A and B are shown apart, each in its own frame.
Chain A
Amino acid sequence: QSALTQPASVSGSPGQSITISCTGTSSDVGGYNHVSWYQQHPGKAPQLMIYAVSNRPSGVSNRYSGTKFGNTASLTISGLQAEDEADYYCSSYASSNTPVFGGGTKLTVL
Chain B
Amino acid sequence: EVQLVESGGGLVQPGGSLRLSCAVSGFTFINSEMNWVRQAPGKGLEWVSYISTSGSTIHYADSVKGRFTISRDNAKNSLYLQMNSLRAEDTAVYYCARELNYYTLDVWGKGTTVTVSS
Binding site for B on A (CB under 8 A): 3, 32, 34, 36, 38, 40, 44-48, 51-52, 57, 89, 91, 93, 97-104
Instruction: Decide: A32 near B102, CB < 8 A? Known: A45-B95, A45-B111, A101-B44.
Output: yes
Residues of B within 8 A of A47 (CB): 108
Shortest A40–chain B CB gap in Å is 8
Selected interface stretch from B13-21, B45-53, B68-76, B83-91: B45-53
Cβ of B106 under 8 Å from chain A: yes
Closest residue of chain B to A50, judged by CB?
A: B104
Contact count A vs B, C-beta below 8 Å: 59
Can you list 19 contacts pairing A with B, beta carbon distance less than 8 Å?
A3-B44, A32-B102, A36-B105, A38-B45, A45-B95, A45-B109, A46-B37, A51-B104, A52-B104, A91-B105, A93-B102, A93-B103, A97-B59, A99-B47, A99-B103, A101-B44, A101-B45, A101-B46, A104-B44
